[in-house]
Structure 1
């Protein structure tokens, strides 16, 4: 361990790094998602290694204009708050600003932002460009056919434009190899192992009983498929509850559909966006976690549930199956009856869930430590500057 630390310091070079493609940090906001949570953990740790890290954030996500956060510089720029323009406009303005800052590394997050990564390749040739391929966004159901075509092209740009590509899952890495003939670096999302003692005083306020509810977390958007979970749960013979915490996306129609479904079953509770102590207690005291998504990258929410020693009931998309390693339970994606069966089985097997939950916690400790992930990311940067 000491030898490794000395060797790391000997070859480590401090760099100026820009992060582009996030809404804002910290991710404790109604608009925060997986990428925000990823950068929230990655950027401060890179700063802790001695790098000068700048995160480009959107104006509405930093209303006070904060300039420093956890050792990082925040650059706040405007955007157009429209579903099809917000991200790309902010990434474009951020890229123009970054060209003048003489960064060593510009790190784009997501295949949409990657479409503009050619700009620093052309106009800042001494800078090295890195892209993290977080998920295949073209399959998110909120996009129209034009946006999906653009995001499909973004997948090509994510491996062709940068000096290095990082894939957060083996599934994405293999996709890039098979379709584009390029092997990205595999560096997964991570999670912090929670404290062993988390209170339960918020449970009553949330209308829940510790250990007596299934939990789902995520934005209320179609590809998260919480409607599947609610429909399946209606037919489960149990006194337990189903709690879903998350904020609506741009399209309120899906959220309204979920609220209408929830009204049909008093056991279903939609809790809105939750963060901080509420979120920690929800994860710590749920009976099991449910992830019915039709599309994911590598879900940080699933990793967080596993870190709390919880079994995850998940759709059998490859990105989910990559995580569980016999610690969770899967069902056929989109199959309501199969999910009903899984809910029912899980509700009747508390001893099995405790056993598999401990395995889940062990898997997270072994493979998804943020400190390890940051060192791997730093090694990618170092290799580009060598």
Structure 2
């Protein structure tokens, strides 16, 4: 393997694999290739077929074995990826997530340069027991202490790394793909949804996403003529998802849309009236950034990553407070953004969360670590300061 090649792992796979880190890698890796670097990514065997193409959009793909197991899958795959990296000797290893980062000291011990991106405090996810939380905390500690370079996807994570581990860290956010609003609505019609008359949420069906809070608040709010569309699927069978399906059953104004991607997901975003993210845990939620890129009204829980994106108190509720959530659902479904306001939201999203800019910033980190001279001083004012015309408020500077 080339000494200038970037070797990435820590995600299930791509393209069109559900998950924030998966979306991040799917957008970042091809853009790094476009900037003239060779990139190899490692996919988890349960999520991609054996005949997966060896190259996708210029990115070299390795399908490496792991068990399909909620508790062992990530750890086993990370060890396999580390062994392969030790044999192939890439110029740089980029690990995504604190769980996979547990192998960082092993890679450093054999002389490899390692970048770790901290996508979120996964040990705070409600689905994990004490043993899994301990492994994740260990992964965070080893990754942050022993990485050659550290990246955080949000300011709150960057502050955590600096205060907890005393290590420098670059804040490079997640991004969105900005595109024209689709005019057709076949997918919306297929689900029995009326454009402009439904509330949308997107995410895996796991406890920390708290779709149950939204479902209960929506039903209690009794919004005539409105529907709730819940987009997402189960990665591993869990009681939370089963309960969500049970409580949604029988309500004609609730649509369980399953996992959506590509044009189907674009249609659902584009024709929604309101996007809601009720999560108790996020890194920097790509689904929220995507909703803003479509110029949607948004309503979010008051966790730190959400508050880096949305600052208007009318669009924020206390996490887990279904009564407040229901009241704000009622209020926001009675208001509409004007075309001018909607375009302002879209422009701000495009400026602050542009994948091309994010790839350039990541490449700066790679080149600095590989001893290459910086390719000029890039301006990143879009992430540091939001547009004052946005109806959601202006975020604090980095």
Same fold (TM over 0.5): yes
Show the counterpart of 1:346: 332
Show the counterpart of 1:39: 25
- Cα-to-partner distance string for 1:49-103 (whole Å, 9 max, x where unaligned): 1111000001222212321111011011111111111011011101101111121
2:73 pairs with 1:86: yes
Hey, what's the Cα distance between the residues in 2 that align with 1:50 and 1:198? 35
Show the counterpart of 2:278: 292
Do 1:311 and 1:360's aligned partners in 2 also have CA atoms closer than 8 Å? no
Q: Please state how far the C-alpha of 1:327 moved relative to its aligned partner.
A: 9.7
Do 2:82 and 2:107's aligned partners in 1 also have CA atoms closer than 8 Å? yes
Any idea what SS the aligned residue of 1:115 has?
helix
Q: Please state how far the C-alpha of 1:171 moved relative to its aligned partner.
A: 0.6
Q: Please state how far the C-alpha of 1:252 moved relative to its aligned partner.
A: 3.1
Q: Please state how far the C-alpha of 1:264 moved relative to its aligned partner.
A: 5.2
Q: Please state how far the C-alpha of 1:355 moved relative to its aligned partner.
A: 6.3
Show the counterpart of 2:7: 18
Which of 103, 107, 115 is residue 120 of structure 1 equivalent to?
A: 107
Show the counterpart of 2:59: 72
Which of 287, 296, 303 is residue 310 of structure 1 equivalent to?
A: 296
Hey, what's the Cα distance between the residues in 1 that align with 2:6 and 2:74? 20
Unpaired runs of 5+ residues, structure 1, are: 1-12
Unpaired runs of 5+ residues, structure 2, are: 372-398
2:152 pairs with 1:163: no
Q: Please state how far the C-alpha of 1:291 moved relative to its aligned partner.
A: 0.2
TM superposition outliers: structure 1 runs of 4+ over 6 Å: none
Show the counterpart of 1:4: none
Distance change in 2, residues 1:306/1:119 (3 Å): same
Hey, what's the Cα distance between the residues in 1 that align with 2:182 and 2:195? 14
Which of 231, 235, 238 is residue 245 of structure 1 equivalent to?
A: 231
Show the counterpart of 1:7: none
Over the aligned positions, Cα root-mean-square deviation in angstroms equals: 1.7
- Cα-to-partner distance string for 1:233-272 (whole Å, 9 max, x where unaligned): 0121322111001001313321111112112532111111
Distance change in 2, residues 1:368/1:14 (3 Å): farther
Do 2:284 and 2:306's aligned partners in 1 also have CA atoms closer than 8 Å? yes
Hey, what's the Cα distance between the residues in 2 that align with 1:148 and 1:321? 25
Q: Please state how far the C-alpha of 1:46 moved relative to its aligned partner.
A: 0.5
Q: Please state how far the C-alpha of 1:356 moved relative to its aligned partner.
A: 5.4
Hey, what's the Cα distance between the residues in 2 that align with 1:298 and 1:167? 9
Any idea what SS the aligned residue of 1:211 has?
coil
Distance change in 2, residues 1:356/1:173 (3 Å): farther
- Cα-to-partner distance string for 1:141-198 (whole Å, 9 max, x where unaligned): 1111111122122222231111000000001011112222223100000001122334
2:252 pairs with 1:266: yes
Do 1:210 and 1:286's aligned partners in 2 also have CA atoms closer than 8 Å? yes
Do 2:182 and 2:266's aligned partners in 1 also have CA atoms closer than 8 Å? no
Normalised TM-score (structure 1): 0.92
Any idea what SS the aligned residue of 2:173 has?
coil
Show the counterpart of 1:192: 177
Hey, what's the Cα distance between the residues in 2 that align with 1:191 and 1:77? 28
Equivalent residues, number? 368
Hey, what's the Cα distance between the residues in 2 that align with 1:119 and 1:144? 26
Hey, what's the Cα distance between the residues in 2 that align with 1:327 and 1:78? 46
Do 1:200 and 1:281's aligned partners in 2 also have CA atoms closer than 8 Å? yes
Any idea what SS the aligned residue of 2:308 has?
helix
Hey, what's the Cα distance between the residues in 2 that align with 1:209 and 1:322? 31
Could you tell which deviates more after superposition, 48-57 or 327-336?
327-336
Hey, what's the Cα distance between the residues in 2 that align with 1:249 and 1:257? 15
Hey, what's the Cα distance between the residues in 2 that align with 1:288 and 1:355? 17
Do 1:55 and 1:72's aligned partners in 2 also have CA atoms closer than 8 Å? yes
Distance change in 2, residues 1:14/1:287 (3 Å): farther
Q: Please state how far the C-alpha of 1:328 moved relative to its aligned partner.
A: 7.3
Hey, what's the Cα distance between the residues in 1 that align with 2:151 and 2:341? 30
